[in-house]
Amino acid sequence: MAKVQKTQANEADRLLVIACGMIAREVLAVKERLGLDHLDLTCLPAEFHFYPDRIAPAMDKAIGKAKAEGYEHIFVGYADCGTGGLLDRVIEKHGVERMAGPHCFAFYQGMDAYAKVADDDMMSFYMTDFLCRQFDAFFMKPLGLDKHPELIKDYFGNYEKLIYLAQTDDPELDKVAEKAAALLGLAYERRSTGYGDLTPELARVAANA
């Protein structure tokens, strides 16, 4: 688990966000944008994206550790993220909240907006700023696509489109997403989402802390 990033203050007076490593940069960006000086951040490994069965037990330990350190205000920076409700059991056990929705691809778009496109996006492969930055590390090398590009059809043959959910306007990330779509043989769409529901949710829980 990543080290907590915090400023001077008593933990009891602060809000701790325990988030997926995939959204760490975004949480810190929202913190800076909103001036949430009393918000601390710690992250579980981003690779849990591929191992959702590890999220709930790791979160259980992380929340227990945070409470032992004196944190009274804790927010879980995950949606369900493939845990099949197991994460909800953990947050109910500890009496904390999490991000609403099935995954970050939903709350980045905003839950209302996602509800309107979810059915149409069923055959789409989502990418975010993080996944663009880590495309080689998260997809090419682990799946062996850098050495065996013939496996692309096996892994991505059921997708029709790559949708880049852009948190920022970065031409370099746009290029990565476009090249990824071409490499995977998928149609391409870019949606400028910003931080979606992450901004109002962090503002809300920070105000209540």
Residues of 137-173 as b/e, b for ≥16 C-beta within 10 angstroms?
ebbbeeeebeeeeeebeeebeebebbbbbbbeeeeeb
Q: What is the mean pLDDT of residues 188-206?
A: 98
Amino acid at 137: A
Q: Which residue has the tokens 């901004």?
A: 199
Distance CA 187, CA 190 (A): 10
How far apart (Å, rounded) are the C-alpha atoms in residues 116 and 209? 32
Report the predicted TM-score, pTM, of the whole model to 2 decimal places: 0.91
The mean pLDDT value of the chain amounts to: 94
Nearest Cα to 8, choosing from 41, 43, 38, 34?
38
Beta strands in the chain (DSSP E): 15-20, 39-44, 73-77, 97-98, 124-127, 161-166, 187-192
Place of tokens 């096996």: 154
CB 20 within 8 A of CB 44: yes
Q: Tell me the domain boundaries of the chain.
A: 15-103+196-208, 111-192
pLDDT score, position 99 = 98
* Contact of 104 with 128, CB cutoff 8 Å: yes
Bigger pLDDT: 96 vs 209: 96
Provide φ and ψ at 114, rounded to 5°: -65, -40
15-103+196-208 CATH fold: Rossmann fold (3.40.50)
Dump pLDDT digits (tens) for 93-139.
Answer: 999 999 999 999 999 999 999 999 999 999 999 999 999 999 999 99
The pLDDT value recorded for residue 7 is 46
pLDDT at 25: 98
Tell me the pLDDT tens digit for each residue of 27-75.
999 999 999 999 999 999 999 999 999 999 999 999 999 999 999 999 9
- Predicted pLDDT of residue 78: 98
Query: Would you state the pLDDT for residue 11?
Result: 76
Q: Which amino acid is at 52?
A: P
pLDDT at position 10, please?
A: 67
Q: In one letter, which amino acid is 32? A: E
User: Roughly how many angstroms between the first and final C-alpha of the chain, as a whole number?
Assistant: 23
